[in-house]
Chain A
Amino acid sequence: MPDIDALKAEAKRILSEGMVDMVIGFKAGDTPLHPQPAFFKTPDEVDQLVYNALCQNNLATYLTRFPKNQKIGMVVRGCESRSVNALVFEGQHPKDGLYLIGVPCEGIIDWRKIVEQTGEEVFSIFEQSNNTVLVESKSGFFTLEKETLLHESCSRCIHPNPISANVVIGELLPEGDPALAREKVAAFASLSMEERHAWFRQEAERCIRCYACREACPMCYCEECFVDHITPRWTESGTTPAGMQGWHIVRAFHQTGRCTSCGACERACPMDIKMTYLTEKLNEDMRRKYNFEVGLDATTPPPFSTVTLDDKSRFVI
């Protein structure tokens, strides 16, 4: 865990020196399991800054919601810094209008797993140094292993350390193993066509079309989404099976070569629909075919934004 005082001091420093107009971070939310994104504009407000493993939003989402001439400071983890890089490449914010305070991330705790294991209303939660989490709930105290609580996309995280951050607070962590993501995709692909489709239907057709996944995703910043467009109607946008399948297919496909596998879409979903099995397949393909990893720098174009004539031998009829 990074030193919260050092984090606050750095945020205060950049605000008071006028390096940024605003620092985006987290503050305590209404319930102990849900810290919420916060926008600090004065050094005094920074006292509310919170950072723990329950901070589940991808803060890069908010980058596109402010004018480009605003200087923004942001507390970033590995996935967030890569999302920021991808957004900078897409011209959503100038690189010099950003100040990134990097935090090496040990993984985000899925609050649903805490509720599942304690089964009660949670009053408070403490992270302990020996990789356990102490949870106080209605019926007493529980000590849970942090490993078992991590969100799925965090347990196979490849880049826990912030990339191209201006300053890093805390010690760098070892890089993750890409084989874990590959294994997950391969395990799904090894199922039969009918099994894969049954899983997809079961997940997609529970959707209530609240678009929380779209709001949580840093790369979903279109002013008008393809499902909202009326004339011409690009796709069916009702809650029919075809409409829901279409949404899930195309939402994920639009993230090809842009998704950082942060899992914010899954964590935001009120129906607990799994979505990363789609985006991770696409990411894995980008890694395998084009040796491309999203957001490692802000200059490499994603595979779908560029072409090379080497491709002519790539696809045989």
Chain B
Amino acid sequence: MSETPKLVLFQCQWCLFAPADQEWVDTQLPENIHLAKVPCTGRINPLYLLNAVQSGADGVMVSGCLPEQCHFKTGNIAARRQLEEFSDYLNHIGYEQDRIRFLWLDLQDRGVIQKELAAFEAQITALGPAHNLATRVAETVGGANA
């Protein structure tokens, strides 16, 4: 695949403890990655993942805190139950499970998110564009203003 894949990053606002990492995500994220910041991974309704998929995302990454390190005690564990099942369920009907990846970050991690995003992008590039589930809006060649 020649084009770069379109990715969506759902990021819990507490999971990047290092200010440098958070600043990189906020300001220097590559253009093909759409950032959706959430107060906690527990806030991510599976519908948001579906919206990302139906808006043409080739891959979705969810980044949150490790168990017992959640800012809200158990939000991340509740999210894991639902989102893991949802990705398994999407796999059941034709959206590969590999396209949804969960990244559980330790508070002491530094520079992990950059490496993980690069690895994820490489994995999605190898899989090719997602084509199974219908997308909501027809893509306009050259962007919306073309």
Contacts and interface: CB of A to CB of B under 8 A. Distances in A.
Interface of A: 188-189, 193-194, 196-197, 200-201, 226, 234-236, 240-243, 245-246, 249-250, 252-253, 256, 278, 281-282, 285, 289, 303-304, 307-309, 311-312, 314-315, 317
B117 interface: no
Nearest to A226: B47
Interface in B60-107: 66-68, 74, 77-78, 80-82, 84-86, 88-94, 96, 102-104
Contacts of B74: 307
A263 to B, nearest CB: 18
A254 to B, nearest CB: 9
Contacts of B91: 193
B103 A315 contact: no
A285 B88 contact: yes
Given A234-B47, A285-B88, A317 B102 contact: yes
B50 A311 contact: no
A278 B93 contact: yes
A164 B104 CA distance: 42
Nearest to B54: A242
Interface of B is mostly: helix
B145 interface: no
A90 B84 CA distance: 23
A285 B66 CA distance: 23
B123 interface: no
Given A226-B47, A240-B134, A246-B54, A285 B67 contact: no
A124 to B, nearest CB: 41
